[in-house]
A and B are shown apart, each in its own frame.
Chain A
Amino acid sequence: MNALGALRDGIRRVNRAPVILAGVFLVTLLAALPFSVVLREALRASFGHSLAADEAARGVNYEWWTEFSAQASGMATTFAVSVIGFAAVLDNLSTLLDRGPRPAALIWLGLAYLVLWLFLAGGIIDRYARDRPIRSHGFFAACGAYFFRLLRLAPIMGLAYYVLFRYVHGWLFRDLYARVTRELPVERTAFLWRLGFYAVFGLLLAAANAVFDYAKVRAVVEDRRSMLGALLAGLRFVRRHAGTVATLYVLNGLLFVGVLALYAFVAPGAGQAGPVMWLGFAVSQVYLLARLWVRLIFFASEVSLFQNRLAYTGYIASPLVPMPEPAVVEQLAGSKP
């Protein structure tokens, strides 16, 4: 199976398990919802009974906004114009790639969200590896079975990403980029340099990400207990199938870029309060759903590639955890002569 085949198969596997997509979508929604409710309360308090709210409901009341921002603290400091439409995507990607600051509260939320993903990752990979319905108990049993293993992998992943962002990023963008552009009076050339550094950093990030993805895949599919072993196995797989792994990663990346490009055209602006706003919100949620879909395809296509290169479709070492019978059934079974 080549990369394109793995991608197709991955898409098929994700589409055949819509509950997983719906589940992670719900998890994301629910993670954001409480904080949004808190922010809504802060905004409502700021508006109070003011007529300033009328303009803010109709479109943008920028004066009120700057007033709110001047007094905002914590998570509310992120309520900036960048939340409007596609700027949100640019803001988040740019902040990530430029190592921009985020408030501590948001970082903690992000960490909690990542732990949640780590918990779900075992179940998601297990489901895509089996490529057949496993019901919710099977899914969560897998989540539970692999969570602590993946949690052991997390410090290694965290360390690698920390080194990448803290040292490699610093070296590339603070030292090297600064050095090559030090005597450069032309912005266009500097931008090309920066794109080059983004590409280098992106490549390193993608390489680490691919290794960790396949480590997770091998940990689940091969029922590995040693995460160090899984990591080395993941690394071996990436090295031995470098071309296909890279192509698959690029194809997945293109899918991601495609989703972003589409959203850039349809992302709602400030809009009005009321039905139009909810329509815009729905469009944005569809975009988020599409992004999650792409994220899951990453997993599924990597599972597919791994299975087809080292085993066969549907192969998974561990048996499905059987769901215990209800107590009454066991009792009935026990009363039989």
Chain B
Amino acid sequence: MLRFSTCAVAVLSLTLTCVYAQERTSGSVPKPRSPRNANYTIDAKLDARGRTLAGRETIAWTNIANAGTRELRFHLYYNAWRNNQSTYVKEERLGGGWSGAFELENDELAAIDVTSIKATGGAIAPVDLTKDMRFIAPDDGNGDDRTVMAVALPSAIQPGQSITLDISWTLKIPHAVDRTGAVGNYFFLGQWFPKIGVLEDGGKWNCHQFHATTEFFADYGVYDVRATVPRGWPLAATGDERERNDNADQTTTYRYYQEDVHDFAWTTSPDYLERRERFDNPGLPPVDMRLMLQPEHARQAERYFSAARAALRYYGEWFGPYPYGHLTIIDPAWQSRAGGMEYPTLFTGGTFWLSPATDFDSRDTVVHETGHQWWYGMVGSNEFEDAWLDEGINTYANARADAEAGFSSYSLVRYYFGGFVPWVFKDVHWDRVTSGDYVSGYRGSPTVDIPSTPSYEYWPANPTPITYSKTALWLHTLERALGWPTMQQVLSAYFEKWEFRHPKPADFFAVANERSGRDLTPFFDQVYRGSSTFDYGVQSVQSTPAGKDAFHNEVVVRRYGDGIFPVTVLITFSDGAQTRVAWDGGARWKLISADHATKAVSAQVDPDQILVLDTNFTNNSYTTEPQGPRAATKWAAKWMVWLEDQLLTWAFFV
């Protein structure tokens, strides 16, 4: 049974709006962190057996743009899996999908159907808008895509005006598909309710269709959600639990409440184990951590908590404190396709049953998703258009936090036999550039897209090298060039200026220029507005006698890539002496002469690896006593053993 009071919600939302307006002037009440212009009161009932959900919501929305609108737009994300012709499916197919020819199975088909929408208060007189609903596809005109719904209004909502809407809808929950859905009795509900888009200045709606490789964008608000699930099923959600009532029909209704967030996700399953710990760190507000764990991962609870603790500490110290006081960590069920995914005050991690204690991947995921509470949660950039602003910055910060947390002691793990049997490579440790920034991903496709392209228009097969890796690498390059204190100031200033707002790339660049005290535009032009690749190398080192006890040494360095970055060249002589020469890196090559008492034995361009964007670091050095043949022999011998073993494995068939 749905319990709902339109009037109460309308009063609540108008009160919130008034409070926000009042607090901005009087300062007597704690100021809301965000504009709170999109507030939701939701009542949802899950039919676990039928895998459906009936929902009703009241949205109290205020126009905070500088122009009015006569239309409202809503995301209906669940319709991405409504059919095999949606934009999401088409893009998955274009990108190769999960298994080549991407096609949703019957049980993966989902649907969100709005059964009624009414204006119930605010600037517009109460009116039933159901007949005014229509589906639009603003990004690609795909008539089969129903992920965006537009509703015409009888009159415009002017800047500063509000409207209260009462929406009823039903949800057909799919077998787990792209981070949401059900597996067995595990349910994860993400992007599950009709969600209003973002009205931008000029009265233009920013309400994109659901794309295969991008995420979400929404205004901040207050979420007050009641979810009814079978009795005995624990529920975890964005926010904190305010009420719990057992109903006569063997169900339980949970009420969760959260202010100043832009999304709401929840999960329920009778199998969850619950663990709680508290994050306490001098100078930072405490955080109650709640972990919802799969029983088979019970022994890995501390791994989750320690990684979350590390992120809360380092992100808190570097950028700004985590203000919500609670954080829910979901250990998703096997094959839930949840992966690591961020939601406000809640995220999904991911591990394996046999995951070894020294595995860094599961920890890294927790640090990354906790980090999203800052870069996505609090700094609400547009994930459709500028995914790098949250994923890239967070990957960079996440790698730095990993390094600070001592991840270098963890080893690489690979899984065999259907992905179940782990093997630890004790010789391969976590490293910030290779494991944190994912340099290999970037090097494999450094020019696949120009970062300034709207993210939803990236080549769908391969968006991560640019969004995640390239951004992390150029931020890391800036850190090494400017120093961490400057970089920390840039990011903390950006965070402080844009928390609970919607920054755009130009806003980040402006803060970076201002805080670094330099005009970094040429660098941003190369790494963001273009797809330049950086590759410096040493071509040769030669020494010729130049009189008694003197040698004339010549080093030729080259710029093989089209990107330009100032670098240092280090020359080492056979007596151990070294000399450093600065090069602006502009020309295609440079001859460096160095007279010294002994011969030059090696030269390195960018010896401190400032430019971690360099696509080929191997050619950055040249030695006159190369170890290449020895190393090549060693590794070829290892490979030979592998090859012999491969042949013997096949010999079974004869």
**Interfacial residues, chain A to chain B (CB-CB below 8 A):** 28-29, 31-33, 35-37, 39-41, 43-44, 46-54, 56-57, 59-64, 66-70, 78-79, 81-84, 86-94, 96-98, 102, 106, 109-110, 113-114, 117-118, 121, 157, 161, 173, 181-188, 190-191, 194, 198, 209, 269-274, 277-278, 281, 284-285, 288, 291-292, 295
Contact = CB atoms under 8 A, between A and B. Distances in A.
A291 B648 contact: yes
Nearest to A181: B335
B621 interface: yes
Contact of B638 (A31, A46, A83, A94): A83
A183 B176 CA distance: 9
Contacts of B186: 185
* Overall SS of chain B's interface: mixed
A56 B621 contact: no
Contact of B639 (A31, A54, A83, A278): A83
A273 B440 contact: no
Contacts of A89: 645
Contacts of A69: 440
Contacts of B107: 182
B642 A92 contact: yes
B499 to A, nearest CB: 35
A270 B294 contact: no
A31 B647 contact: yes
Name the residue in A37, A114, A209 with the highest tally of chain B Cβ atoms < 10 Å from its Cβ.
Answer: A114
Given A67-B617, A82-B414, A88 B335 contact: no
Given A66-B443, A88-B642, A185-B336, 13 more contacts: A32-B640, A51-B602, A62-B428, A64-B617, A82-B642, A98-B417, A114-B650, A114-B654, A161-B653, A194-B420, A271-B634, A273-B631, A288-B644
B228 to A, nearest CB: 21
A29 B643 CA distance: 9
Interface string B324-336: 0000000001111
B631 A53 contact: yes
Contacts of A106: 643, 646
B604 interface: yes
Contact of B630 (A32, A46, A57, A190): A57
Contact of B183 (A36, A183, A274): A183
Interface string B597-608: 000001010000
Nearest to A182: B175
Nearest to B609: A63
17 contacts: A36-B637, A36-B639, A47-B628, A48-B618, A51-B622, A57-B631, A79-B639, A82-B642, A83-B635, A83-B641, A96-B650, A114-B650, A114-B653, A121-B654, A270-B427, A277-B634, A295-B648
Interface in B378-414: 412, 414
B628 A185 contact: no
A53 B627 CA distance: 5
Name the residue in A28, A54, A68 with the highest tally of chain B Cβ atoms < 10 Å from its Cβ.
Answer: A54
Contacts of B175: 182-183
B433 A87 contact: no
B647 A110 contact: yes
Contacts of A270: 427-428, 638
Nearest to A150: B654
Contacts of A46: 618
Given A89-B645, A273-B631, A62 B434 contact: yes
A116 to B, nearest CB: 9
A194 B418 contact: yes
B641 A47 contact: no
A117 B617 contact: no
Nearest to A161: B653
Contacts of A278: 637
B466 to A, nearest CB: 15
Contacts of A32: 640, 643-644, 647
Name the residue in B427, B620, B636 with the highest tally of chain A Cβ atoms < 10 Å from its Cβ.
Answer: B636
B456 to A, nearest CB: 26
B619 interface: yes
B335 A84 contact: no
B61 to A, nearest CB: 37
A48 B184 contact: no
Among all A-B residue pairs, the 9 with the closest Cβ atoms = A47-B628, A185-B333, A40-B636, A66-B440, A94-B416, A36-B640, A187-B334, A43-B632, A270-B427
A43 B631 contact: yes
Contact of B420 (A47, A66, A187, A284): A187
B506 interface: no
Nearest to A63: B434
B639 A39 contact: yes
A82 B428 CA distance: 11
Contact of B421 (A48, A49, A64, A90): A90
Contact of A188 (B296, B634, B642): B296
A281 B635 CA distance: 11
Contact of A185 (B184, B426, B645): B184
Nearest to A35: B643
B425 interface: yes
Given A50-B620, A66-B434, A44 B628 contact: yes
B188 to A, nearest CB: 10
A67 B648 contact: no
Nearest to A276: B634
B623 A51 contact: yes
B352 to A, nearest CB: 7
A63 B439 contact: yes
Given A78-B642, A269-B427, A52 B618 contact: yes
A87 B622 CA distance: 33
Contacts of B185: 185
B335 to A, nearest CB: 7
A190 B627 contact: no
B427 A190 contact: no
Contact of A50 (B334, B622, B637, B652): B622
B422 to A, nearest CB: 10
B616 interface: yes
Contacts of B648: 28, 288, 291-292, 295
A245 B301 CA distance: 48
Name the residue in B271, B629, B630 with the highest tally of chain A Cβ atoms < 10 Å from its Cβ.
Answer: B630
